[in-house]
Homo-oligomer: A and B are copies of this chain.
Amino acid sequence: MRLVIVGGVAAGTKAASRARRLDPELEITVYQEEPEPSISECGLPYLLSGVVGTREELVARTPERFAKQDIEVLVRHRVEQLDAAGKRLSVRDLAAGEAFEDSYDRLVVATGARAVLPPIPGADLDGVFKLRFLTDSDEVRRYTQEHSPKRAVVVGGGYIGLEVAENLCRIGMEVSLIEGADRVALAYGPEVSERVEAELAKHNVKAYTGEKVEEFVGEGRIRGVRFGGTELETDLVIVGVGIKPCVDLAEEAGAEIGPTGAIRVDEHMKTSLPDVWAAGDCVETTNLVSGGPVWVPLGDTANQMGRVAGTNVASSVGEDTSEFPGVLGTGIFKVFDLGVGKTGLSEQEARDAGFETFSAGIEVYDRAAYYPGAEKVFLKLIANGSTGRLLGAESAGSGAAKLTDICATALWGKLSFPDLINIDLAYSPPYGPALSPVIQAATILSGAFERARQGVRASE
């Protein structure tokens, strides 16, 4: 049986490896447009600054490594057309410039996502970059070596923009950040945005919020960015305003596209086309808190989806044994010394999803106050106002990663906030306050909840 996988990083290669492990007899080919089949895209911002020293460190596995697993990986190959009824593919070898036909018994679409460059005049100037693939980072590096830029503008205040801003600062650039919304880190509540903006200010990154870029100015090469009636001089622009799923191949072949614009798959990662699965940044999934469809393009999720797809393509016909349940929307990023994490819904997202919400935000020490190095950490819990069920959590500060993961696990276990008051977490002075911030916030939530209920009773 022949398995073809379109796209490498990260879902495609995971699916390939998993399928190989389960079925030594499968014939497996991976087509990948980019030159590296398996890289850690999340590490790209750190390559800008040299925090990650060489691009090779981000290459998890080469085609040669896959060959040892008896997986054929063909890089610089673009799959241009999919005939789902005939189970055939048109493939172009980009290096040779030649096209050829291939066929499959089962197919995994892992075409990923691409960075969006907004239609701003001057976006094609030299010195204006996006940062999605290793090749983008190669270009930035080449430009930087050639022109030694002193000033940089980052467009976009989401996590990629923030990570890029930090890393450009690290190599001594004077960095400005422009965000269209009225605050950065818009996926979070305003308490978190404030903290991120303070962290940027502390490191001399000038953040312009509520500003839309009107034009990238320059002759051939970038010289300035025009917005809000002013022009900010700059030698380098990195645009991180978002990415969108690459669905053309699947869509043109007739695969159903979901409301988020990504490929719709069932819990087995199967598309609406026969014998075609899809995984990674090109598919949508279910938000387990809201129950609605979401598109959350993240490396860890892509990995997990790839494993599920790989298991199922290696199963007997009609016996998809593995299921991907959906996501919580968990994520974390670092901006300078601030960890910023989230799971589930922000309070706004919860309200938009129709929930009556209740929340408690606290700022406490991340370890015993007397233990050296104690730093403040912010935690906000959001719960369903009628059932008490936890809907989301946000954290900013030292230890945000731990608090986010505790809350993600609580969401995964469908816990309600009263369950968190007596939860038995690990305590020792170097690792936390005597009562975890999660317990403290749940306790405050409980008090607010009781008072509100008493208020309801009193007014009845």
Show the binding face of A for B, using Cβ within 8 Å.
Answer: 10, 40, 42-43, 46, 51-52, 57-58, 159, 288, 298-301, 303-304, 307-308, 324-325, 327-334, 339, 341-343, 368, 370-372, 401-402, 404-406, 408-410, 412-415, 419, 421-432, 434-436, 439, 443
Task: Write the nearest CB–CB distance from A92 to chain B, whole angstroms.
Answer: 30
Q: Which residues of B contact A298 (CB under 8 A)?
A: 427
Q: Give the 10 A-B CB pairs with smallest separation, nearest first.
A: A413-B413, A332-B426, A409-B409, A300-B427, A57-B370, A401-B431, A328-B424, A402-B402, A330-B424, A404-B426
Once bound together, how far apart are the Cα atoms of A218 and B193, in whole Å? Answer: 64
Q: Is A436 in contact with B10, judged by CB distance below 8 angstroms?
A: no
A7 to chain B, nearest CB (A): 17
Contacts of A405 in B (CB 8 A): 402, 405-406, 425-426, 436
- Residues in B with CB closer than 8 Å to A404 are 426
Residues of B within 8 Å of A343, CB to CB, are 424, 426
A428, B10: Cβ atoms closer than 8 Å: no
Number of identical protomers: 2
- Which of A299, A331, A422 has the largest count of B CB atoms less than 10 A from its CB? A422
Q: Which B-chain residue is minimally distant from A408 (CB atoms)?
A: B425
Contacts of A439 in B (CB 8 A): 304
Q: Which residue of the partner chain B has the closest CB to A414?
A: B413
> CB-CB < 8 A to A430: which residues of B?
334, 339
> In the complex, are the beta carbons of A426 and B304 less than 8 A apart?
no
Contacts A331-B426, A331-B427, A410-B412 known; 4 new A-B pairs at CB < 8 A: A300-B435, A331-B428, A401-B431, A412-B423
User: Given the known A-B contacts A43-B368, A370-B58, are A424 and B408 also in contact in the complex, defined by CB atoms under 8 Å?
Assistant: yes
Q: Is there contact, CB below 8 Å, between B429 and A40? A: yes
Across-interface contacts of A422 in B (CB, < 8 A) = 304, 308, 324-325
**A301 to B, closest residue via Cβ:** B424
Which single residue of chain B is at the shortest CB-CB distance from A56? B370
CA distance A288 to B422 in the complex (A): 12
Task: Say yes or no: B40 contacts A368, CB within 8 Å.
Answer: yes
- Tell me the minimal C-beta distance from A198 to chain B in angstroms: 19
Q: Which residue from chain B places its CB closest to the CB of A302 in the assembled complex?
A: B434
Which residue of chain B lies nearest to A428 when distances are taken between CB atoms in the complex?
B332
Nearest to A298 among chain B residues (CB) is B427
A57–B372 CA distance with the chains assembled, in angstroms: 11
- Complex contact B42–A424 (CB within 8 A): no
**21 contacting pairs across A/B (C-beta < 8 A):** A40-B368, A40-B429, A43-B368, A43-B370, A43-B429, A51-B371, A159-B428, A300-B427, A324-B422, A325-B422, A328-B424, A330-B425, A334-B428, A334-B431, A401-B402, A401-B428, A405-B426, A406-B409, A408-B426, A410-B413, A412-B415
Q: In the bound complex, what is the Cα–Cα distance between A401 and B437 (angstroms)?
A: 14
CA–CA, A402 and B40, complex, Å: 23
* A339 surroundings in chain B (CB, below 8 A): 430-431
Question: Using Cβ atoms and an 8 Å threshold, which residues of chain B touch A331?
Answer: 426-428
Whether A401 contacts B42 by the Cβ 8 Å rule is no
A346 to nearest B CB, angstroms? Answer: 15
Bound-complex Cα distance A415 to B415 (A): 11
CB of A308 to closest CB in B, whole Å = 7
Closest to A439 in B: B304
What's the Cα separation between A359 and B425 when bound, in Å?
Answer: 21
- Docked CA distance A329–B424 (Å): 7
Report the minimum CB–CB distance from A197 to chain B (whole Å).
Answer: 19
> Which of A10, A424, A431 has the most CB atoms of chain B within a 10 A radius of its CB?
A424
Return chain B residues, CB-CB under 8 Å to A434.
10, 40, 42, 299-300, 303
Q: Compute how far the CA of A195 lies from the CA of B329 in the bound complex, rounded to whole angstroms.
A: 35
Give the shortest distance, in Å, between A165 (CB) and chain B (any CB).
Answer: 15
Beta-carbon contact of B333 and A299 below 8 Å: no
A334 to B431, CA, bound (A): 9
Shortest CB-to-CB span from A442 to chain B, Å, is: 11
Chain B residues whose CB sits within 8 angstroms of the CB of A432 once the complex forms: 401
Give the most central of A303, A304, A343, A372: most B CB within 10 Å.
A304
Interchain CB contact under 8 A, A427 and B371: no
